[in-house]
């Protein structure tokens, strides 16, 4: 089976869906290939084990190799990880953009990205959570932060008509969370893009040194070849470098698959006097950023009993007693902006993710866990359950004592203006592979310290308009844009992009 | 779906090296002698315990006793989507 188009987008998550919609609405003929299935919200059951198996890659059990091993949950299917994230939206912090300019030669300042962020935020109905919807779990953290005088606030999220179902990460049953599967993907298809699910892209086709399309295996059997002079890779930070490697794209920088940055994270529980019912309300609605400059961020986490039981760092009778008090349990998360760097490579076709927590990041966890305990106690906790072995105090924790998950993988095809230092350039074009671009977290060259979905979407927006040869408009998503000379075709005379 | 089936599906979705290891841990934890063996390996015991707890507290009756009704959450979501024309 063969298709031909102007732009082939590989992946329908945060980056791919945004790029596809903007390109299709801009007049380009777009094919989107997504490895996973579409997900019907009628099939969401709000039951964690079933939803983990269905909505997550590897059932949410993708793990890093290293000290300590870390679970790295990734979404799979139309919407990608936006389908199963908490919906938290932060713009790229200004100090991060300054670092990118200084260290990586990227011309991405606040003014350049502002129209991209505004456009994405409008498309996703990004707004601050109100205190009523935040629920009692957030109120516990707020009380603690206020008593300690720590900086805090309610998070901004991409949700519309949220009723606080409490299962954002297990599939939103009300479709309130504005993930790309119900926002940008429908916009793309409405504008004429063709979406093929169950398409496992095996290779980017290169002819005479530039992109010619991609070859995919279909889940229903057979192969699909998409012929396109422009290919946008958006398979995510773990899989994009592996596809580039399989395709034998040149990598003069030798950085492909390296520089993996994560937000390693953990969470503590507290037994309160009052009823908390942590799954009533928005699980991730509140943050405490008092120690953000030290790379330590606290954000809300919560879920139904099965989720809490799995996360509660106790065993045996103590676990049973604490779970009997589930309605009075509060939970809050700790996320570290890492200095550690890992790598991803393929072994027998499967990704092997190597990541060791460096001493500086272990120190952040020690400090963060002590602060988390302080937060809970200030809020009036009767007991605090930290994710450490019995008898280990936060300040004495070693890497192997930590029970970690990680989120927000970034950096494995990092952007750098210099061909010797980056896999992609500042325009997100792959160095040495004309016609191949990347629009996912892999291009983000450093940890952000905040949730990255908005950064990825803003960069994808910028890429799409760059390919269309237009400025990103300041108005609503549907507003016509000023035109110019784009680079979505190798030969301007053959360009199908309207100009 | 029964809680047991939910856990079986969860384990089946794991990548193969972990799948075999996790199934072994869970099988050990379910038996008194196996649980005794795991008690000497805290990290392994915690992993096995976490998986079994995920299944146990997914049971609608037990979850209901703790104030969580997944069926009601889903029904409310479906009704809202129908009423408001959400996707």
Reported as a single tens digit per residue, the pLDDT across A91-106 is: 999 999 999 999 999 9
Is the predicted pLDDT of residue A482 greater than 70, yes or no?
no
CA distance B1 to A23: 41
- pLDDT at position B16, please? 85
- pLDDT at position A419, please? 96
Q: Which of A223, A182, A231 is nearest to A199 (CA)?
A: A223
- pLDDT at position A488, please? 52
C-beta of residue A105 within 8 angstroms of C-beta of residue A97: no
Cβ-proximal residues to A157 (8 Å cutoff; 6+ apart), any chain: A86, A87, A88, A89, A126, A127, A128, A129, A177, A282, A284, A285
Give the strand pairing for A329-336 and A194-197. Answer: unpaired
Mean pLDDT of A6-11: 98
DSSP A46: S
Q: Cα A201–A202–A208 angle (5° rounding)?
A: 105
Name the closest residue on chain B to residue A182, using Cα atoms. Answer: B87
State the residue for tokens 């000379």: A485
- pLDDT at position A100, please? 97
A61 interfacial to chain B (CB closer than 8 Å): yes
State the residue for tokens 């996320």: A335
Pair of tokens at residue A18:
């945004």
How far does A180 lie from chain B, in Å, by closest CA?
A: 12
Q: Which residue has the higher pLDDT, A486 or A137?
A: A137
Would you tell me how many other CB atoms lie within 10 Å of the CB of residue A355? 27
Active site residues of A: 408
B83 interfacial to chain A (CB closer than 8 Å): no
- pLDDT at position B43, please? 84
Q: Confidence class of residue A398 from pLDDT cuts 50, 70 and 90?
A: very high
A279 interfacial to chain B (CB closer than 8 Å): yes
Taking contacts as CB-CB distances below 8 angstroms, the residues of chain A near B68 are 279, 304-305
Cβ-proximal residues to A85 (8 Å cutoff; 6+ apart), any chain: A75, A168, A169, A179, A407, A451, A453
Q: Report residue B56: phi and psi, to 5°.
A: -60, -45
Tally the C-alpha atoms within 13 A of residue A358's C-alpha that lie toward its C-beta: 11
Taking contacts as CB-CB distances below 8 angstroms, the residues of chain B near A47 are 1, 6, 58, 70
Is the predicted pLDDT of residue A442 greater than 60, yes or no?
yes
What order of strands is seen across the sheet that includes strand A2-4? A2-4, A223-227, A210-218, A199-207
Q: Cα A350–A354–A357 angle (5° rounding)?
A: 155
Mean pLDDT of A460-480: 84
How far does A401 lie from chain B, in Å, by closest CA?
A: 9
Q: Confidence class of residue A487 from pLDDT cuts 50, 70 and 90?
A: low
Residue A175 in 3-state DSSP?
Answer: coil
Mean pLDDT of A6-23: 98
CA distance A36 to A74: 12
The minimal CB distance from A174 to the residues B55, B67, B81 is found for B81
- Global pTM reads 0.94
Mean pLDDT of A153-168: 97
- The ipTM (two decimal places) reads 0.95
User: How high is the mean pLDDT of chain A?
Assistant: 94
Residues paired with residue A345 on neighbouring β-strands, in sequence order: A352
Which of B10, B22, B38, B85 to mutate against chain A (most A CBs within 10 Å)? Answer: B10
Contacting A residues, span 179-198, partner chain B, CB-CB under 8 Å: 182, 186
The minimal CB distance from B10 to the residues A59, A173, A304 is found for A59
C-beta of residue A104 within 8 angstroms of C-beta of residue A416: yes
Which range, of A36-40, A311-315, B17-21, averages the lowest pLDDT? B17-21
Spell out the per-residue pLDDT of chain B, length 87, in tens.
777 788 999 999 999 888 999 999 999 999 999 999 999 998 899 899 999 999 999 999 999 999 999 999 999 999 999 999 999
**Length in residues, chain B:** 87
Is the predicted pLDDT of residue A443 greater than 80, yes or no?
yes
Give the strand pairing for A261-271 and A383-385. Answer: antiparallel
- pLDDT at position A476, please? 61
How far does B57 lie from chain A, in Å, by closest CA?
A: 4
Name the closest residue on chain A to residue B42, using Cα atoms. Answer: A389
- pLDDT at position B42, please? 85
- pLDDT at position A492, please? 37
Radius of gyration of chain B from its Cα atoms, rounded to whole angstroms: 17
Q: Confidence class of residue A486 from pLDDT cuts 50, 70 and 90?
A: low
Q: Confidence class of residue A498 from pLDDT cuts 50, 70 and 90?
A: very low
pLDDT over 70 for what percent of chain A?
95
Name the closest residue on chain A to residue B65, using Cα atoms. Answer: A324
């Amino acid at each position: 089976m063969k298709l031909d188009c102007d732009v082939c987008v590989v992946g329908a998550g945060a980056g791919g869906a945004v790029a596809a919609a903007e390109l299709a609405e801009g007049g380009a003929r777009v094919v989107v290939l997504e490895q996973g299935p579409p997900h019907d919200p009628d099939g969401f059951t709000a039951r964690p084990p079933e939803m983990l198996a269905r909505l997550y890659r590897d059932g949410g059990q993708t793990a890093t190799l290293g000290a300590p091993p870390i679970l790295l949950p990734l979404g799979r299917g139309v919407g990608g990880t936006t389908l199963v994230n908490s919906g938290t939206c932060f713009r790229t912090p200004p100090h991060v953009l300054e670092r990118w300019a200084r260290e990586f030669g990227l011309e991405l300042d606040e003014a350049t990205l502002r129209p991209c962020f505004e456009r994405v935020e409008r498309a996703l109905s990004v707004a601050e959570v109100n205190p009523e919807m935040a629920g009692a779990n957030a109120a516990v953290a707020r009380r603690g932060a206020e008593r300690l005088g720590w900086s805090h606030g309610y998070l901004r999220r991409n949700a519309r008509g949220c009723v606080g179902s409490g299962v954002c990460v297990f599939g939103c049953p009300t479709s309130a969370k504005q993930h790309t599967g119900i926002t940008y993907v429908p916009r793309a298809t409405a504008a004429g893009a063709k979406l093929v699910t169950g398409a496992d892209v095996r290779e980017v086709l290169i002819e005479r040194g530039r992109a010619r399309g991609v070859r995919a295996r279909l889940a229903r059997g057979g192969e699909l070849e998409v012929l396109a002079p422009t290919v946008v890779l958006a398979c995510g930070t773990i899989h994009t470098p592996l596809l580039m490697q399989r395709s034998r794209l040149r990598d003069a920088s030798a950085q492909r698959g390296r520089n993996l940055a994560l937000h390693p994270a953990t969470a503590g529980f507290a037994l309160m006097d009052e009823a908390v019912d942590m799954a009533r309300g928005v699980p991730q609605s509140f943050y405490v950023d008092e120690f953000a400059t030290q790379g330590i961020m606290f954000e809300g986490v919560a879920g139904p009993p099965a989720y809490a039981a799995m996360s509660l760092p106790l065993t045996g009778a103590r676990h049973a007693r604490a779970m009997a008090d589930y309605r009075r349990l509060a939970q809050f998360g700790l996320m570290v902006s890492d200095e550690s760097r890992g790598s991803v490579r393929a072994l027998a076709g499967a990704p092997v993710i190597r990541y060791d927590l460096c001493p500086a990041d272990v120190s952040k966890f020690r400090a963060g866990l002590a602060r988390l305990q302080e937060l809970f106690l200030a809020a009036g906790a009767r007991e605090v359950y930290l994710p450490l072995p019995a008898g280990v105090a936060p300040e004495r924790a070693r890497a192997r004592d930590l029970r970690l998950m990680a989120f927000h993988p970034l950096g494995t095809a990092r952007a750098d203006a210099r061909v010797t230092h980056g896999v992609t350039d500042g325009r997100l074009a792959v160095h040495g592979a004309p016609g191949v671009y990347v629009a996912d977290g892999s291009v983000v060259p450093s940890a952000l310290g905040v949730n990255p979905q908005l950064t990825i979407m803003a960069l994808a927006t910028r890429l799409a308009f760059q390919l269309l040869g237009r400025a990103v408009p300041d108005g609503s998503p549907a507003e016509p844009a000023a035109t110019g000379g784009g680079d979505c075709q190798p030969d301007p005379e053959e360009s199908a992009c309207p100009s | 779906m029964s809680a047991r089936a939910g856990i079986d599906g969860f384990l089946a979705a794991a990548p193969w090296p972990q799948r075999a290891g996790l199934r072994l841990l869970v099988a050990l934890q379910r038996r008194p002698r196996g649980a005794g063996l795991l008690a000497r390996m805290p990290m392994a015991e915690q992993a096995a315990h976490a998986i079994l707890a995920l299944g146990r507290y997914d049971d609608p009756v037990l979850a209901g006793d703790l104030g969580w009704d997944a069926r009601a959450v889903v029904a409310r979501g479906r009704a809202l989507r129908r009423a408001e024309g959400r996707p």
